[in-house]
């Protein structure tokens, strides 16, 4: 299809069409999950929703787990970019606020609950979750690296633990205790985690 | 039934039979959930498994949510009693170890995943989860109260946050990242949380 659409786009900006297809497919992936859950999630449905041929999906992502991982990472990057304020506590607070405003959305809730409820029964999905979180925690840990470089925290601080200590209580409240992610809680949490990491108040 | 069984037990130790029935019913509740999930969880099935009449359950617990809450609290109290070592870090570590060895068991996993996957779709179950966690966090927070009394941490420390900061990363690893709850992680976590609370190393 779309030789006429493809032609001009390719001439105007190389990669333009490819980037648009990627963006449409990742968006459709999230929407499909939010609407139908993981059980009915398929390349066919995503392709239909995105308005592309399903061979495009097979060629680019190979399997639905790879597509899901990329869609989750993209959603995370859009909703909660890595902050850089010059202070560990402020970076943690900014990240916490971004996450707190994104996790109650239907799309994020749908993905989180789908992954947890399927859990160990689907090793491929469990592997997607592990890879998503290890990538995401590694990205967020840059905040801690910068704090170490500034001399704000000791160089032997466990960078992944600092990130986990910030993220976990938010998901714990959202999924388990029903506690609120209000302004005061996020501020206390960020201060607590900065203190745990050994940062002096700034 | 059981007039003959009830008689001697009552004479020997008051409350003996009642305590045995309670214990059998709570155990059967957990087993039923682990085996059949929340969808098929009913007074009928629990009564059958515990070998008591279902009117006993209606009389004592009223609805299945009250029974579930009591069973969850009992399981928590058995598996992870509140430690008292004289040091905040050591108390946190002891509690973390008890929880880490109980949450991968089929019974605890079944309950946790059932509650999360049903989630907001069942307000009564969501309320059970909220009440379980607020009770459990309040119980665990005694560790922090004692640390305040000993002058180990500042009196204005947020006691619930300290408990959440310990529990959340364990459930986060178990349910979301797939990270291991090994010895080193639990030690780092306990030290991190004690530092976050403002405790000097002891």
The answer, yes or no, to whether residue A14 has pLDDT greater than 80, is no
Q: What is the pLDDT of residue A93?
A: 98
Task: Tell me which residues of chain A have a C-beta less than 8 Å from any C-beta of chain B.
Answer: 112-113, 115-117, 119, 126, 129-130, 133-134, 137, 158, 161-162, 164-165, 167-169, 171-173, 175-179, 185, 188-189, 192-193, 195-198
- The three-class DSSP label of residue A111 is helix
Instruction: Provide mean pLDDT across the span B50-66.
Output: 94
DSSP annotation string for A30-64: HHHHHHHTTTT--HHHHHHHHTS-HHHHHHHHSSH
The answer, yes or no, to whether residue A29 has pLDDT greater than 80, is yes
Instruction: Provide mean pLDDT across the span B20-41.
Output: 89
A166: closest CA among B60, B196, B117? B196
Question: Cβ B117–A117 below 8 Å, yes or no?
Answer: yes
Question: Cβ B169–A168 below 8 Å, yes or no?
Answer: yes
A116 band by pLDDT with thresholds 50, 70 and 90: confident
B202 band by pLDDT with thresholds 50, 70 and 90: low
Question: Do A51 and A114 touch, CB atoms closer than 8 A?
Answer: no
Chain A's closest residue to B134, CA to CA, is A177
Q: What is the pLDDT of residue B113?
A: 75
The answer, yes or no, to whether residue A13 has pLDDT greater than 70, is no
DSSP assignment letter at A148 = H
Instruction: Provide mean pLDDT across the span A64-85.
Output: 92
Question: Cβ A188–B164 below 8 Å, yes or no?
Answer: no
Question: Cβ A196–B198 below 8 Å, yes or no?
Answer: no
Q: What is the pLDDT of residue B66?
A: 93
pLDDT tens, residue by residue, A151-166? 999 999 999 999 999 9
Residue B83 φ then ψ, to 5°: -80, 160
Give dist(CA B56, CA B68) in Å, integer.
Answer: 15
Chain B's closest residue to A115, CA to CA, is B176
Chain A residue numbers touching B177 (CB-CB < 8 A): 129-130, 133-134, 137, 164
Q: What is the pLDDT of residue A103?
A: 81
**Mutate which of B176, B180, B181, B193 to test chain A, going by most A C-beta atoms within 10 A?**
B176
Q: What is the ipTM of this complex?
A: 0.84
Q: What is the pLDDT of residue A119?
A: 64
Q: Please give the share of chain B, as a percent, with pLDDT higher than 90.
A: 61
B64: closest CA among B19, B114, B16, B14? B114
A21: closest CA among A10, A37, A11? A10
**Mutate which of B92, B144, B175, B189 to test chain A, going by most A C-beta atoms within 10 A?**
B175
| CB contact set of B63 (below 8 Å; sequence gap of 6+) | B124
DSSP annotation string for A67-108: HHHHHHHHHHHHHSPPP--SSHHHHHHHHHHHHHHHTTSHHH
Q: What is the pLDDT of residue A120?
A: 65
Q: Please give the share of chain A, as a percent, with pLDDT higher than 90.
A: 61
Q: What is the pLDDT of residue B154?
A: 95
Instruction: Provide mean pLDDT across the span B38-66.
Output: 93
Q: What is the pLDDT of residue A4?
A: 44
Chain B residue numbers touching A185 (CB-CB < 8 A): 161
The answer, yes or no, to whether residue A19 has pLDDT greater than 80, is yes
Residue B141 φ then ψ, to 5°: -65, -10
Q: Left (φ > 0), alpha (ψ -120 to 50) or beta: where does A14 sit?
A: beta
A161 CB burial (10 A radius; 0-12, 13-18, 19+): buried
pLDDT tens, residue by residue, B87-136? 999 999 999 999 999 887 878 877 887 777 676 678 888 888 899 999 99
Question: Cβ B165–A126 below 8 Å, yes or no?
Answer: no
The answer, yes or no, to whether residue A69 has pLDDT greater than 80, is yes
pLDDT tens, residue by residue, B60-71? 999 999 999 999
Q: Please give the share of chain A, as a percent, with pLDDT higher than 70.
A: 89
H-only helix segments in chain B: 3-12, 16-36, 43-50, 54-61, 64-79, 88-102, 106-118, 123-140, 142-149, 159-172, 183-196
Question: Cβ A177–B129 below 8 Å, yes or no?
Answer: yes
Question: Cβ B179–A165 below 8 Å, yes or no?
Answer: no
pLDDT tens, residue by residue, B136-192? 999 999 999 999 999 999 999 999 999 999 999 999 998 888 899 999 999 999 999
Q: What is the pLDDT of residue A3?
A: 43
Closest to B119 (Cβ–Cβ): which among A113, A173, A188?
A113
């Amino acid at each position: 299809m779309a030789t006429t659409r493809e032609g001009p786009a390719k001439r105007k900006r190389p990669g333009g069409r490819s980037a648009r297809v990627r963006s449409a497919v990742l968006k459709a992936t999230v929407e499909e999950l939010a609407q139908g859950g993981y059980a009915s999630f398929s390349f066919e449905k995503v392709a239909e929703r995105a308005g592309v041929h399903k061979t495009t999906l097979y060629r680019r992502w190979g399997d639905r787990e790879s597509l899901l991982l990329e869609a989750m990472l993209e959603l995370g990057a859009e909703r909660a970019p890595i902050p850089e304020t010059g202070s560990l506590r402020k970076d943690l607070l900014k990240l916490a606020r971004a996450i707190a405003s994104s996790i109650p959305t239907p799309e994020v809730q749908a993905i989180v609950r789908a992954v947890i409820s399927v859990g160990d029964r689907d090793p491929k999905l469990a592997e997607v979750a592990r890879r998503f979180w290890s990538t995401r925690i590694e990205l967020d840990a840059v905040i801690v690296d910068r704090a170490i470089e500034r001399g704000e925290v000791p160089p032997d601080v466990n960078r992944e633990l600092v990130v986990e200590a910030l993220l976990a209580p938010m998901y714990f409240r959202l999924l388990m205790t029903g506690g609120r992610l209000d302004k005061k809680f996020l501020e206390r949490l960020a201060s607590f985690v900065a203190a745990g990491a050994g940062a002096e108040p700034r």
